[in-house]
Structure 1
Amino acid sequence: MERNTALRDFLRSRRAQVSPAQAGLIDGSGRRVPGLRREEVAALAGVSVDYYMRLEQGRNVSPSDSVLDSLATALRLSPAQRAQLYLLVRGRSKHEADRVPDNHPNITGLLRAVAVPAIVVGRGSEVIGANALHRELTTDFETFPLERRYYAYWLFADAGAREVMVTWEHSARETVGVLRAAVTRFPEDRRLHRLVENLNAASPEFRALWDEHDVATPASSVKVYRHPLIGSLALRQVAAQLPDDVWLYLYWADPGTDAEAALQRLRDVVADALSRPPAPPR
């Protein structure tokens, strides 16, 4: 509880120190208090307003490193402040928290820049980040506990995945193959072994595929999704490798196809959701 209070006070004080102009925002309305509003910090960091509010309130949130880094950038934190943020959230500092990460591009900025569903995953399908279009199409991985924030876990242990993924069988086989390849390459990674143990216990389908000992690498393919408002979307998946065993997946549609029209409707749904005022805190 003490750490939650300290985190709340730290985040509130930091956003009070950043002006809209410093953040590149247009301040078109009067403000009763200085600094950024919660919804502005959330937008700059690439997370939902509700998620940021829960983080600021210390309510059962386990942000990924990329979210903390994006939040630190949005709040213009110094290296020491960045380390403090990690300490308050994790109970320990990040190894590279004393410097701005430079191993790969700004993941949040990259995801926000593309106009198609996009997700970035690390070793063993760990979800590093996803843009609003991908969240609308699948699920919000940021709401998952850290130990379950894997694409593989959603695919096999979340019943909703089968409702969303029309091509579930193909995705399941591909994901298991990529995971087995990762376990082979990094046998010392205990997180991967725990993930495999949990999935073996949770899913007979995973267990059967795992026992096949097949391996795969991220590849281009066609994935078919089902959306409650839009219907079926057949999208081309393109996988691009980034540094540090990180992969960027993009999902796009051929011009002039029904899929392109459906993808535009998905953009409209997301734009409409983002334009609504945030719900008041409970």
Structure 2
Amino acid sequence: MAVGEFLRARRDRITPEAAGFPVDVRRRRVPGLRREEVASLAGVSVDYYVKLERGLARGVSRSVWEALARALRLNETERAHLWDLIAAETGVIMHREPLPRQRVGPGLRNLLATLDHVPAMVQGRRTDVLASNDLFTVLYAGFTGRNLARFILLDPAAKDLYPDWPEVARSVVAVLRLYAGAHPDDPELTPLVDELAGASDLFHQVWNEHAVIRHADGRKRFRHPVVGELTLNYATFAAAGDPEQTLVMFHADPGSPSADALRLLGSWHASSRTV
């Protein structure tokens, strides 16, 4: 039923006006598009579309799914997520090899060690932090575990670290939702999702919204107990040999107060190690 849930969640977010339908002053029972409106945009019958939302995804042609993706205005990330859900439900991929344990190669570890002026880490599946340099460890005050989603959603220290915690929390749920679509058979995923859903109302809400995003670059604000607030840019790079490992590096705008704060954080850490 994951395909149907995703279709409903995407349908709910589109207003009739945005989809090109005339303004209707009558009261609507749904926040977004009606089923018949989606069916009209995709060029299928209402009954056929209703069956798709009810989970009857087998035997549907690629052209119909493409038409629905256009009707629901799915972006590239959401479209890829839909394909993963369809594959999981229809049995097109009947078997997947067990996921091998992720290990950071010596070359990437050496690279991390040389990045002494920028916080950096290697992130793997399920938002696991596989390796990090000293400055990342100092920047992420309070993060003592392995999984970023668990830290952000369940650890009170995360709310102190992120001034924009609700936005950061929603974002990490959407990242995890995208991963779940691609790896529904990951044996370590279900326990993590169950743990987060049972302990975080926000996770439960956002997970059911089926929002998906892929982080490539952006900006993030931090509130550090030593140097105060700083805003850092981040960029991600796929690791050679394992596309599910990404090198994530943070840097400040040159000449900004955040750049000064990051240098101060590095100096503070260096001095604290020599004491």
The SS at the match of 1:246 is: strand
Q: Residue 156 of structure 2 is aligned with which of 150, 156, 159?
A: 159
Task: Tell me what 1:127 maps to.
Answer: 129
Q: Residue 184 of structure 1 is aligned with which of 168, 175, 181?
A: 181
The alpha-carbon deviation at position 187 of structure 1 amounts to 1.1
Task: Tell me what 1:262 maps to.
Answer: 261
TM-score relative to the length of structure 1:
0.57
Task: Tell me what 2:170 maps to.
Answer: 173
Distance in 1 separating the partners of 2:166 and 2:234 = 15
The alpha-carbon deviation at position 155 of structure 1 amounts to 0.2
The alpha-carbon deviation at position 219 of structure 1 amounts to 2.1
Q: Residue 138 of structure 1 is aligned with which of 131, 137, 140?
A: 140
Distance in 1 separating the partners of 2:141 and 2:259 = 21
Counting only pairs closer than 5 Å after superposition, residues 1-282 of structure 1 correspond to structure 2 as 104=105, 106-114=107-115, 115-139=117-141, 143-144=144-145, 149-242=146-239, 243-244=241-242, 245-276=244-275
Please identify the structure whose Cα radius of gyration is greater: 2
- Deviating above 6 A after TM superposition, structure 1's stretches of 4 or more consecutive aligned residues are none
Q: Taking structure 1 as reference, are residues 140 and 162 closer, same or farther at Cα in structure 2, changes over 3 Å only?
A: closer
The SS at the match of 1:211 is: helix
Q: Is the 2:221–2:229 contact (alpha carbons within 8 Å) kept by the matching residues of 1? A: yes
Distance in 1 separating the partners of 2:175 and 2:107 = 24
Distance in 2 separating the partners of 1:110 and 1:136 = 18
The alpha-carbon deviation at position 174 of structure 1 amounts to 2.0
The SS at the match of 2:209 is: coil
Tell me, which stretches of 5 or more residues in structure 2 are unaligned? 1-99
Identity %: 33
Q: Is the 2:142–2:157 contact (alpha carbons within 8 Å) kept by the matching residues of 1? A: no
Distance in 2 separating the partners of 1:155 and 1:128 = 16
The alpha-carbon deviation at position 169 of structure 1 amounts to 2.3
Distance in 2 separating the partners of 1:186 and 1:105 = 26
Q: Is the 2:141–2:161 contact (alpha carbons within 8 Å) kept by the matching residues of 1? A: no
- RMSD of equivalent CA atoms: 2.1
Q: Is the 1:223–1:236 contact (alpha carbons within 8 Å) kept by the matching residues of 2? A: yes
Q: Taking structure 1 as reference, are residues 228 and 140 closer, same or farther at Cα in structure 2, changes over 3 Å only?
A: closer
The alpha-carbon deviation at position 228 of structure 1 amounts to 1.4
Q: Is the 1:122–1:128 contact (alpha carbons within 8 Å) kept by the matching residues of 2? A: yes
Distance in 2 separating the partners of 1:110 and 1:210 = 35
Q: Is the 1:107–1:129 contact (alpha carbons within 8 Å) kept by the matching residues of 2? A: no
1:158 partner letter? D
Q: Is the 2:234–2:248 contact (alpha carbons within 8 Å) kept by the matching residues of 1? A: yes
Distance in 2 separating the partners of 1:119 and 1:170 = 21
Distance in 1 separating the partners of 2:105 and 2:122 = 12
Tell me, which stretches of 5 or more residues in structure 1 are unaligned? 1-94, 277-282
Distance in 2 separating the partners of 1:106 and 1:179 = 27
The SS at the match of 1:119 is: strand
The alpha-carbon deviation at position 212 of structure 1 amounts to 0.8
Distance in 2 separating the partners of 1:168 and 1:119 = 20
The alpha-carbon deviation at position 107 of structure 1 amounts to 3.6
The alpha-carbon deviation at position 167 of structure 1 amounts to 2.4
Q: State the Cα deviation string for residues 216-243 of structure 1 (Å, max 9, x = none).
A: 1122111110111211010011111214
1:191 partner letter? E
Task: Tell me what 2:23 maps to.
Answer: none
